[in-house]
Structure 1
Amino acid sequence: MKDIRAQIEAAVVRPIFDSVRQNGHRDQSLPEVVFANRRSRAYGRVLDALISRGAAVLPAELRIRLESMVESWSTQAFDDAFGPIQEFEIQCARERDLVVAEESGDPRKVLEVRERDYRRRVIERFGSIELRGIQLNHRVILDLDEVYVPLHFEELSAARGHDYSQLLMSHPRKQVDEILKDRSRIFLIGAPGSGKSTLVSFLASRCAVGKHGLNWPERALPFVVTVRELKDAAIGPEWLARQLGIATDLVLAALSEKRAVLLIDGLDEAPEELRSQMVPALARFTGSYPDMPVVVTSRPAGAHGEMESCLPGFRGYRVADLMPDEVKSFIDKWCLAAERSARPNSSYTVQQANAAAADLKSRIARSRPVERIAANPLLTTILCVVHRFLGRTIPEHRVTLYEKCTDALLYEWDRAKFPKDAAVGNLDANQKRALLRGVASALHEKHEAEVPESDVVRHFAVVLPQIGQPQEHALRIVREIRDRSGVLVERRPGIFAFSHLTFQEYLTALDYAPRWQELLLHADDPWWHEVIALAAGVPGSDVAGMMDCLLREDNDEAIFLAAKCLETAVSVPADLRMRVEDALERTLFGVNWLPTVRLTGIGMTVAPILARGLANGAPHVKARSLDFFEEFMYEPVVPILIQLASDTSPSGQFIGPRYELKIGEAAVSTLQLMAPTSERARAGLIAALSAQPFSKQFLDWLNPWQVLGDDFKPYRRGKRPSKRAKSTG
């Protein structure tokens, strides 16, 4: 041990610390004796950490990291509370097992240690979630299992909207374990905040602890690729090892033993050029390992079915909106976790959590706009945060909701743990948002989602004088908010990102709203569509000018974007609203029918138009409209569906090789899908089924008993049909 100590001190520690001294880093305000004592303690901590590794020779990457850390530490006068040294000490101690394994000369032992360490890292990164926005003077990090609500999925089909056997077979909705029983490769498409990344985290952490409970190898090893972090797409074993920071031998071993699981999160977050490289590269790589389970997630991007079709063997699924019971379960878990983090766990804690949850659930039930907002985990989380922060009130306008949520999250910059002289304490919420807008816009303009600390400091330095604050506070503020803001967070040492892409988009919208003409230059890029829609909802924005400009483009995408702006705008002149609706109606009933997954994004704008089409349109228009209403809850359409129940026109949609649904039958099936969450639709379904003589074949396939129970008895003898046969058409 003495020999190792002497070697490490002479070859590594002393030269690095001497180099820092020669570079002249010195806090002149600190007494010399205090600085000298701190430096001596720092020297000893680094030396002890390296000795704990059990090897005199340092890998090149570890030495580079050490040099950078000591350089940075010296700028903080070797403060004893310097966070990175604690991480370094832990890393060195953990590497001891690897050093011993390498000295044994047994490659199997080396791989075992590497895999054990990698699994630990996966659990650390993906197995927990931070509860933000609850205004405590400490961070609250929970096991993901405590708050995770399982997602449900509906199968996508290239024939969607034309083949009802594919459309309705996806109901009831399936959880991911049900999907993966039959399919080892799935492509999951979901709206922003629908829980795609959380699902990837859940699958990765479950695999890492060996409790995935899926039809995967027992010792499945998860390889998680977060697309927003990528700079290239040369997908292969060496590339994976480089991205994950692990040995190539470990990747190759998992692949050869058929234990590898590949999880690709956020395919849409790659710039167009990178995505055009990544999709075929992914297809080639997965083709080389046909037994490897693969899960890919994405927001809707490109033409309908475009990305799925480029990945042979993948089956596409859409992340379904949360059902009312799932929203309630999510709220219950969040409120209980929030209360337990604020006070000791007791019966009073549970009582307060139940009261808060009950109040929020009742407010959602009383407000249809808020009920529509609570459609996915992120938006439901925002509702929980805002409800707690604002004293049990919630706004109904989406942009206002984001504003109040960032208020709640940015409030954490003011927590009592900051020193009295902290620079961040001088900033109000609008000033904090002003600091972040520039960072968000710069990232979005580069089509990126991560930014080095130095760039954040540079952006802050530009903005601070504009809001009456000293420019030299930029670095202090970045370091003061590190890991304390629920909006801008440090993903890994020296790299920052917004906690969710939605916040990046919202802040970019704030930045661009006064200069919307520049914003609309990006109208052809789907990466900017949410930003444009949110900018239309920013108070004081020229929404009329934006929408008029889009309508004058006179193409389907521009009209669709104008409709998205109509959804978020606070106030729109009646004549302009009519222009948008007229243009949208021409688009909807034209040749290029937009896929339902996109139409639901402008649901409240498009629903009245499609309801008119459902009442008065040709059979193909009615069929397309029915497709939409199966995905978007719109109770005013219920009377039209009841009237359509007697329509015997062919729909062009099949539930088997020889059974084409009539429009009336398709309308009844739509009522049935609405019935679990709408008493009005349930009553309409009973009325329609009771008034019309539907065929036994249709009723056996529809199986209304699963929703209505004994409320529907078409057979006088009371004999229910057997469970419906699911034809593949």
Structure 2
Amino acid sequence: MAGTPAAPEPDRRIIAVLLADLKGYSQLPDQPRERLHLRTDEDTAPILRRYRTLTQKGTGDGVLVSFTDVRQAANCAFDLSTYYRDLDWHELEVPRLEVRIALHCGPATLHESKISGQPDLIGNAVIEAARTEPIVTPGEVWATDAFTTQLELRNQDERFAWDDLGEHELAREWGARRLYRLSRASGPSDGARRQDRVPAAPQWIQADLLAYAERMREEHSFINPSGIMQTERQVQVKMDDVFVPLHLTLREPEADIAWLLIEKERAAAGGGSGDFERDRPEEADLTAPYRFALRRSGQEQVPTAAIMPFEQALARHGQLVVLGEPGAGKTTLLRYLAYRHASALVDGSDEADGLGSPRFPIHVRLADYARAVEQESDELSLQLHILRRCQMRQIPLPEELLEGQLQRGNCIVLFDGLDEAGTPARRAEIAEQVEAFIRAYGGENVIIVSSRIASWRAGTQLVGDVTVATLAPLDDDGIARFLDGWCLAVEQQQRGPGTTTAQQAGEYAEAIKGALANNPGIRQLAANPLLLTILVLIQRREATLPEQRAALYDRIAETMIVNWRQRHVGELPFDQEEARMLLSHLGYRLHERRPDGMLTQDELVRLWAQRLAKDAGLPRPNVGIRSRAAELVQGVREHVGLLAERGEGLYGFSHRTFQEYFAGLEMIADSMAMVKHIRGKLHQPAWREPILLAVGRAAKSLGRATGDGLVSAIWHADSEYETIIHRDLLLALYCLSDMVEISSGLTQQLVDALAGLLLDTPNWRRYSSVPRIRTLLLTGQRALRSVGLPERLMARLEDVNESVRWSAAEALGRLGDGQAVPALMARLEDEDESDRRSAAEVLGWLGDGQAVPALMARLEDEDESDRRSAAEALGWLGDGQAVPALMARLEEKNQVVRWSAAEALWQLCETQDAEMEQAQHGHLLS
């Protein structure tokens, strides 16, 4: 029976809870209490970071922490108890207080706090700990019988001891419970460096440990885009200089993979949130198989996902699977972890740069292990493979050292590329070996496995207590940090340090940031670290990124194809045009006939073999052509990066942008049929991008006359209802905004037509096109500004028709043209209220600081609508000098103006102090 999809099952599990409280804290005067609070918050944070906590929550005078492991909870309790015992209370000028710590183990539910957005805990486990803590003797650690029962099962090394205290009545008449006084039998905490709590290893073992760590640090200290065409000189950049902290998305594993695939397909298609069956019907086809599976399982509602920095995810989850698309940064993340832990061991640090206590790093490429199993024996264990690989590379790793570190729980084991471990059958075998390894050593060792999403979904999964996470795309801040670090590192390597070097690096980075800001399609590509790296390399090679999208995609494809050829010198001779031809044929076929964008490997080989046979003048492929097609498919899949496995035995382009680009190339492959192909797909939503890219590439390669012909053919296609919805004109204008090379005469005609549409068309006829016009003005700002549109619009700011004046002002704001600011500032003094309001609104959109004084003056205007529009515009401008004037408006009698000022201050509050924020809040409540 159909109905509202059921909400995801709550995350219920058995956990260990620690509740600590300082007896007498609430009786302290305000100042001593504040000093103590600040000091203990700062000091206890690194203690908590040593452990794999599920949740952490301050309780004012204490802390509530949850764990999956009772040993972790017990050791954390002792570390906190020791800290408060040894705290210099005299220095703090605070009377000595004793900490009471209660430990309990039981069922609880994890959920996201609606207030903080952080993981939080509810359930009996929390209540039992809260009722136990008040009766604990200050200075001691007490545990319930449920906790000690679990601890006894894990106390084989007799690290912990406890005294039976008998039954006690819990606080608030909760009932009686048997309690125990817990103590540490010997040795430091579980979270401390584990080699310190076992008998000292022989000196030669310690020497080998340091030698091994030094080699690991050396091997993983550089990021090297090997094989990718760079400049005349191959460069390496240091991991420290360019690694960008990544984020992981975690959610419940049952529906995880299907939803990941849905989101992946929608992102590839350029989709966003909302009802995609209604808003983007082509996406419904892409995701139909996954949505059908979810309907059958009753999991149609998207599971709640938590996005967190990878350091936080690692602190909470000891066994983690990291999924990601090709080029998403899976291998780099694992190498970074190996590098950081190795560096901390070599340097003798107590912490691996925010990653907790240093661990013994073991990095294993599962593709190497699969080959070794194939060549040697199915019985080859992972441990033996690790030892042999180290011997081959002359890395000191005695068996006693490896086994000792694993047994002590000191290791971070990094299994890289489960998806690359051979055939599906072989991958299943390797997965079983990894599972066995986790069962044997997963208690206190951290184990991370990486895989592509498609391979994981297809069945190569791990069974057991592992958490599945997905690498999130780079956000704007991550992209900017990568660009700044990469450009500076490369310049310093090639030029040496210095002011000029830093200046040149900054110019390179800003040039790429500007290109991304001006082109949403390129920005989408840059969210993938591999593609972002390629953009950087192209910019270095050519001094600037091509402004036209089609030209930039040409360079990206060229870089990837040349990389392919460099890896296959002497084995697979072909030229770039042949590769483009085959990829174009594939892109067009997928875009036209396969909404899901996928073919099986056999279908792909057959498709390319038929095309190769046709070009060779053969009626059908022979054995040699089929063999060559198979080699080409394998080469593209493994090395080019343009194609990716998107399901078991299913292949498609790694990003939908590449499919659209190559489909566009196929549309113009026959110069005599270009217009026919383009008009045949005109105004089909899925073909808009291929058409724009096709026109751009044709104009670039065949000349402006060709560009004129294609753009004119679009403009004058005489599509149905053109006089009302203007689809032909707007698509031709999109070609102009896409920097397609056309003649100045045609450019001027298009600008005239757009100006007429904006200013001279009656409202009722322009209305249906308004959303597309606004999008055009925003996305084509640079191109439309360069062809004189702002001047045309400014001239109409004085038009006698109010509607025309408003349309001209709005269009100028959408274009973001600063030369309109003086004219718009003058309009703030206009007699017409609507003109003043529109001028203020547009000045806010433009973001030009020279308008701030004029807008601040309007805050004193007698007309309340002027005060309101000025406040709103100042909020959009984001200039801190407006804060005092906006604060004064919080005393307004008019509620609408007060709210406008408050909203503007809220937009500015990130750069202001807490006093302003508190004042704003107080006036809102009054």
TM-score (norm 1): 0.50
Higher relative contact order (CA 8 A, sep 6+): 1
